[in-house]
């Protein structure tokens, strides 16, 4: 029996491994919350935060509301669509203000 030389290059093995798709983690459908499920009370809370603190970022909205940054972004997006707040990107952050 001949031992395999680890420094030997085998093109067929390389090519078969090269074509394999990468394993990517998937997101479960239950982890996603559509923007339409955001309630009027949550929009009122956002309006109250902006009246009290003025201009905020998504991160600040999340921290003050006790929610994740992603959830804060969804709420702000719904408020922008409803015409309640305006959102302006400044560098890497987003400034959120009342109209």
Q: Is residue 93 part of a domain?
A: yes
CATH number at residue 42: 1.10.10.10
Q: Is residue 57 part of a domain?
A: yes
| Single pTM value for the model | 0.61
Decide if 42 contacts 2 (C-beta within 8 A). no
Residues written for the chain:
99
Q: Which two tokens stand for residue 60?
A: 């600040």
Q: What is the mean pLDDT of residues 73-89?
A: 91
Give the alpha-carbon dihedral of 60, 61, 65, 69, to 10 degrees: -90
Q: 95: burial class by Cβ within 10 Å (0-12, 13-18, 19+)?
A: middle
Helix 69-81, helix 58-65: angle, nearest 10: 110
> Which pLDDT value is given to residue 69?
92
Q: What residues make up the domain containing 49?
A: 33-98
Q: Give 29-65 pLDDT, tens digit per residue.
A: 555 555 556 788 998 999 999 999 999 999 999 999 9
Q: Is residue 12 part of a domain?
A: no
């Amino acid at each position: 029996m001949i031992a395999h030389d680890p420094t030997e290059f085998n093109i067929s093995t390389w090519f078969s491994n090269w074509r394999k798709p990468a394993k990517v983690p998937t997101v479960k459908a239950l982890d996603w919350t559509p923007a339409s499920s955001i309630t009027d009370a949550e929009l009122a809370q956002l309006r109250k935060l902006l009246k009290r603190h003025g201009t905020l970022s998504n991160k600040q909205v999340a921290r003050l509301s006790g929610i994740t940054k992603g959830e804060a972004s969804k709420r702000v997006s719904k408020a922008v669509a409803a015409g309640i707040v305006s959102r302006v990107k400044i560098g890497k952050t987003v400034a959120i203000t009342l109209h």
